[in-house]
Structure 1
Amino acid sequence: MNDTTIETPDNTVEPGQNGIVIRTITTDQSGAWLQAGWRDFKRTPAIGLAYGAFCVLAGWLMVLSIFRTGQPYLTLPLAAGFMLLAPLIAVGLYETSRRLEMGENVTLWHSLNGFRRNPGQIGAIGVVLMLFFLAWTRIAMLLFALFYNGTVPSLDVLVWETFFSRDAITFLITGSIIGGGLAVIVFAISVVSIPLLVDRDVDVITAVIISVSAFRKNWKVLIGWAAVIAILSACGMVPALFGLAITTPLLGYSSWHAYREIIDVSQADVARLRRQVP
């Protein structure tokens, strides 16, 4: 493999689903994954920036729509909900890192091949992530109604009511606990499953089982990685969402390298998908 490959620890478990091995990661590897992701970004800046620009544009359209419909209070919940859908958006970035790793030609058009791998299975997990996103949005609306007497704050008092009012602390803690719980569930089922579906000919149920098993085995390290993703994503949103143009591709590429370090498919009895795009 080329210089995008990360050295992996030798302590592994016996092969599980389809001969796929889940490695044990004992120390925080976030820095190494980010470094590998940054190398991929530098090698394919146009692809990374294209996906980043798409996220920025999608964010602007989302914010514009909620303001035009008189629901500005959903800005913060939808910003948090973005991270529930981000693993699906990153499919093309996974494919880019995958092709770099295999020494294949890669362009923006080639990166879209990732969405053509196991399309039905990737679509199925996409539906699951969308359901979580819609559930979180609905919960956020109910929380606003519960804490603000069946109404929602108007734009002129939104910041004050959300962060500085009498019930703000309770509201924020409740929302953070519920949202955090949903985020952990989504992270557990997607951290390995989506890149695995891009890489190998497996079904979505098998991929999710492997992903959850990997999370359970390495939960301490992966919780730290999830925190890094959340912090960098939040930082990317602060400057009018422009930062997402950098943080989105960086985290997408890095997540591919996290998958490659956590999962050993060298002895897997499922084929590696090699469909080529002209």
Structure 2
Amino acid sequence: MDEVAPAATTRLPDVSTIGVGAPFRWLAGAFSDFRKAPGPCLIYGAILVAASVGLAVALYYAGALRWLFAAAAGFFLVAPMLAMGLYRAGWMLEKGEKPGIGDILIVKSAFRAELLYLGLALFVIYSIWVEAAHLIYGLSTHKFHKTLPAFVNFMLNEKDGHAMVMTGTLVGGFLAFLAFSVVAVSAPMLLTQKTGVFVAAITSVRTIAANFLPMLVWAFLIVALTLAGIATGFLGLILTFPLIGLASWRAYRDLVPGSSADLA
């Protein structure tokens, strides 16, 4: 389907107030969408998993354990940018069209400069997290844990390891929620509307401010589903990541009610 770019706008759109049960409704709708196009969504998820496993294996055999855990935590920061094809799938399903794998792997709207700026902002937040993770690890121990079992043992069985995990969780959680606030609706908004990155980011923050508790529930569900996927050796992400992406599209459409007229 041809994509027609709407006129540029700098107007801040209205945002909706939602109930605390809305995130569960988004997930239920996402499952319904998934059932309409399971093949392309599973292939999309499998490609993501293959890339994730490849990166994890490379870091492990390179002995870069600190990078391995930093990369796993950083996944939460960059995931919204990896879901562009799923946003498009949600859009097509909303219009009664069935997306093919080509529709969601090649999304022309994702190559806009404004999305590049958003990705750059997330990269900056991720870089801060990586440096913070290294600093927290360095301040927590004078040892260098060369193997994964040694590092896990340090985290679980040593007092300094417990302090490292607690500090890392607090710092990482803050940075993750900061990124979530900026990108919660801005990524799908920039994909479908000719608007600036600042307008999209401000709109995203406004949706968080107007719906703090429901969006906190949504963030928790995203983390829980992602961790469940990672805990299965990444295989669960083949299903959970497409569900999160499709639900995120529904969240955007719910939170920014005037967006339909500007769909690309």
The TM-score normalised by the length of structure 1 is: 0.86
Q: Which residue of 1 aligns with 2:145?
A: 153
Q: Which residue of 2 aligns with 1:84?
A: 77
Q: Which residue of 2 aligns with 1:93?
A: 86
Aligned mate of 1:108, from 78, 81, 101: 101
Deviation at 1:112, TM superposition (A): 3.8
- Mapped to 2, the partners of 1:161 and 1:180 lie a distance apart of 21
Q: Is the 8 A contact 1:92 1:115 kept in 2?
A: no
Q: Which residue of 2 aligns with 1:191?
A: 184
Identity among equivalent pairs (%): 29
Q: Is the 8 A contact 2:44 2:105 kept in 1?
A: no
Q: Which residue of 2 aligns with 1:232?
A: 225
Aligned mate of 2:56, from 47, 63, 70: 63
Q: Which residue of 1 aligns with 2:67?
A: 74
Aligned mate of 1:120, from 80, 88, 113: 113
Deviation at 1:272, TM superposition (A): 2.8
Q: Is the 8 A contact 1:144 1:152 kept in 2?
A: no
- Mapped to 1, the partners of 2:111 and 2:151 lie a distance apart of 43
- Mapped to 2, the partners of 1:98 and 1:117 lie a distance apart of 14
1:29 aligns with 2:22: yes
Which residue identity is paired with 2:205?
Answer: V
Runs of 4+ in 1 over 3 A off after TM superposition: 112-115
Q: Deviations over 1:201-235 (max 9, x none)?
A: 11111100100111111111101100000011000
Q: Deviations over 1:231-272 (max 9, x none)?
A: 11000001111111001001000111111111111687xx43
Deviation at 1:106, TM superposition (A): 2.0
- Size of the alignment, in residue pairs? 255
Deviation at 1:27, TM superposition (A): 2.5
Which structure has more helix as a fraction of its residues? 2
Q: Deviations over 1:155-191 (max 9, x none)?
A: 1411110121021221111101100000000000000
Q: How does 1:234-253 map to 2 (within 5 A)?
A: 234-253=227-246
Q: Which residue of 2 aligns with 1:135?
A: 128
- Mapped to 2, the partners of 1:112 and 1:56 lie a distance apart of 15
Deviation at 1:119, TM superposition (A): 1.4
Deviation at 1:26, TM superposition (A): 2.9
Q: Is the 8 A contact 2:27 2:247 kept in 1?
A: yes
1:204 aligns with 2:201: no
Structure 1 residue ranges without an equivalent (≥5):
1-16, 274-278
- Mapped to 2, the partners of 1:105 and 1:231 lie a distance apart of 29
1:247–1:267 distance in 2 versus 1, CA, 3 Å: closer
Q: Is the 8 A contact 2:42 2:242 kept in 1?
A: yes
The TM-score normalised by the length of structure 2 is: 0.90
Q: Which residue of 2 aligns with 1:176?
A: 169
- Mapped to 1, the partners of 2:208 and 2:110 lie a distance apart of 24
- Mapped to 1, the partners of 2:12 and 2:136 lie a distance apart of 45
Instruction: Compute the RMSD of aligned alpha carbons.
Output: 1.9
